[in-house]
């Protein structure tokens, strides 16, 4: 069982979040070319479900048109962002699970994406008077909270997640500028 909150991305967490089904794959598990997670086939999924006393796996993050059922219905991928790419129109979907475990779906057609409005001002950031910045102002606690969320790292490789190290550095530099420390 995974303890919450998850503060460190272990191999188990990384495998759950980043792995993708590959029905045509002959090997049960294969490293994903993106460097995180694995590709898995039906044999691997059935072994995982049996060991963990589960009936199926509902997952996300893999682009499909709405939802896709694989491996005799034991693996369902749901994608809830419509028109995710500009290459073609795609649907979004949600799944509803009853108390008895029955699954139904709702699929929504892609939304028309409005064109982006032109900015009102070229410089969206107001000039700050450094003399008026207060430690208790709203911007400083938000930055502190952001820094705390950037500490998720892969325990085995010490790699930051999605540029979090860069974000933490820029947040701290901004905070130093605002506070004069």
- End-to-end Cα distance, the chain: 43
Residues linked to residue 97 through DSSP beta bridges, in sequence order: 103
127: its two tokens: 């000039």
Model's pTM, two decimal places? Answer: 0.57
Is there a contact between 103 and 78 (Cβ–Cβ < 8 Å)?
no
> What confidence score (pLDDT) does residue 2 get?
64
For 57-83, write each residue's pLDDT tens digit: 999 888 888 889 999 999 999 988 887
For 43-58, write each residue's pLDDT tens digit: 999 998 999 898 999 9
Question: Which span out of 78-82, 112-116, 135-139 was modeled with the highest average pLDDT?
Answer: 78-82
For the cut 90, the answer to whether the pLDDT of residue 85 exceeds it is no
């Amino acid at each position: 069982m995974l303890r919450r909150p998850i503060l460190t991305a272990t191999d188990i967490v990384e495998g759950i979040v980043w792995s993708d089904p590959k029905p045509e794959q002959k090997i049960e598990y294969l490293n994903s070319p993106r460097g995180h997670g694995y590709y898995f086939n039906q044999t691997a999924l059935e072994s995982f479900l049996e060991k963990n006393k589960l009936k199926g796996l509902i997952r996300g993050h893999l682009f499909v048109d709405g939802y896709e059922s694989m491996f005799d219905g034991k693996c369902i991928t749901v994608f809830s962002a419509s028109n995710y790419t500009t290459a073609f129109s795609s649907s979004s979907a949600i799944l509803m699970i009853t108390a008895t475990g029955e699954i139904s779906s709702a699929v929504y057609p892609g939304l028309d994406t409005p064109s982006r409005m032109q900015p009102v001002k070229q410089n969206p950031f107001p000039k700050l008077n450094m003399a008026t910045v207060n430690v208790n102002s709203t911007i400083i606690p938000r930055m502190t909270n952001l820094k705390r969320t950037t500490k998720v790292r892969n325990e085995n490789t010490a790699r930051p997640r999605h540029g979090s190290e860069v974000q933490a550095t820029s947040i701290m530099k901004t905070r130093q500028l605002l506070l004069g420390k």
